[in-house]
Structure 1
Amino acid sequence: MSQTPRKTVQDFDPAVMRLFDQYVHGLIDRRGFLKGAAAYSVGASGAAGLLAALAPDFAAAQVVKPDDGRLHARFVQFPSPQGYGTGRGYLVEPRDAGEALPQVLVVHENRGLNPHIEDIARRLALEGFRAFAPDALFPLGGYPGDEDSARALFGKLDQALTREDMVAAANWLDAREGGNGKLGVIGFCYGGAISNFLATRLPDLDAAVPFYGSGAPLDDVPRIKASLLVVLAADDERVNAGWPAYQAALDQAGVDYRLIQPPGTQHGFNNDTTPRYDEAAAKLAWGEAVAFLKSTLAA
């Protein structure tokens, strides 16, 4: 029995994708999405079917299994005195690396530490990094197991405390034995914004790779010492609206940065669990990101 091919972004009306982006980022609720999407489907059941088709499929997209014998992966806690007090994250490194490792903080989207981001951490570990992915939702019980619940829970976070948790996670990682003294961060959507933010808060950060994330506050840009690889989608009105001002601030501050913006892409194009995934663009951007981290984090 053949498996039904998963839909791609080309299978959906662009207006539906814009509605989905608003829904994912909390600008409209589930009812708002279904009401708007009903115009592009057959009734309410058709709109619900559209939402189901856009939901992530973690199992199908998994690249590295959690029990991969090449890796040492575990969940650990870290202190965060200025944040919620204690954080938790997923730490992955090559097994028996035999040398000091460059270290990369991996920051999730606005749904917490879901299986996709855990897989991203494992992918990075196989590239020779020690990867640590903190879960912003840990103070509220952690990732709840489904995206809708996670999104709702995320809205209850005190973001000032959460940002301090991310700073604490980066500092905790940087202080671990076995590192080569180099630290990077990579993040997606919300995590992209956090990557930009961390670049303004961590003077010892060497590299940041924000994927389609909002820029840091413009007044804070002169504090950035890290090199940046900025990844944006081509069709992402919400995030891209802030790029010209952020780019001008980076230029004025003399920050070392490079932009990658593959044509024809939508917000979230690197996430291979959803139909927004663009295989060619993701392969390009991910390859550039790994190469950038390897070059900037080399001892």
Structure 2
Amino acid sequence: MLDTDDLRFFAAIASAHSLAAAARDLNVSPPAVTQRLRALERRLGIHLVDRSGRGLTLTDEGALLAERGRRLLDAFGDLDDALAARRGEVTGHLRIVAPLGFGRRYVAPVVASFRARHPQVRIDLQLSDRLGRMPSEAWDLAIHVGETRDLTSSLTLRTLAPNARVVCAAPTYLGGRDAPRAPSDLRAHTCIALRENDEDVALWRFRSGRHAEERVRIEPELASNDGEVARGWALAGLGVIVRSEWDVADDINAGRLIRLLPGYSLPAAPVVALLGAGPRARAARTQRFLEALRGALTPTPWHLTEGSGTDPAEP
């Protein structure tokens, strides 16, 4: 009565917030999704989905079908992977999630080269800074840049590269101002906030040597959810920004940005890979891509040159 096509179809329904979103994932029209869902419900003789203005809600029967169906699809996928491995092939569907800016600069090129080496692997790369709001069933491999203390313990974490955070501003911004000498001085400066992940972006945390952590609550006068936009504002001399080393190391080394408060450190933001516990995490395609990405980030392609881009007035 059910086949794997039905299970894959309903899995797309279950993971989407609307039929229109499911249609995009399935690359068909919304009416086609509606018709197929109704036909599936008639064939099974049960109601699977409640549709309302707020989106989709699975009935108890729909939740059962989604859960059991996902297990069956995972089992079939695991079998396909095992048989492909016996043939020395890397195949299947790989779903990757990565942060917007980091994904564009570092993950997308690895996807392109990996696909060239393994043309039988179909790859979906989704760029998003809201990993915490995406269920782990929606991806096979997730790249995260930042603190990892709030990540669920059910995921396997693999560190890919170190990454510091730095405070910086353009020379044009600092031209007519006293540079901050302590974190508390930032309250007198124009600060730019980057609203990514689910962090408290207005709370900047500093540490100097063995001293206690110093927290500064800024009042950002500019804010964006796009790192490229925030970095562009900083380069234009519009304010002070806290940004990952991977994004601003070249600008600091070239003198386009000046590193501030070099005697203080901020919480590190390592680049890590997250894997689920299912068979997709163990699949050859996932493990091979992880190896390729680790290779692309070793040695770390970003670094601050000693003494470069530092506020010359700093002691």
TM-score (norm 2): 0.25
Higher relative contact order (CA 8 A, sep 6+): 2
TM-score (norm 1): 0.26
Choose 1 or 2 for highest CA Rg.
2
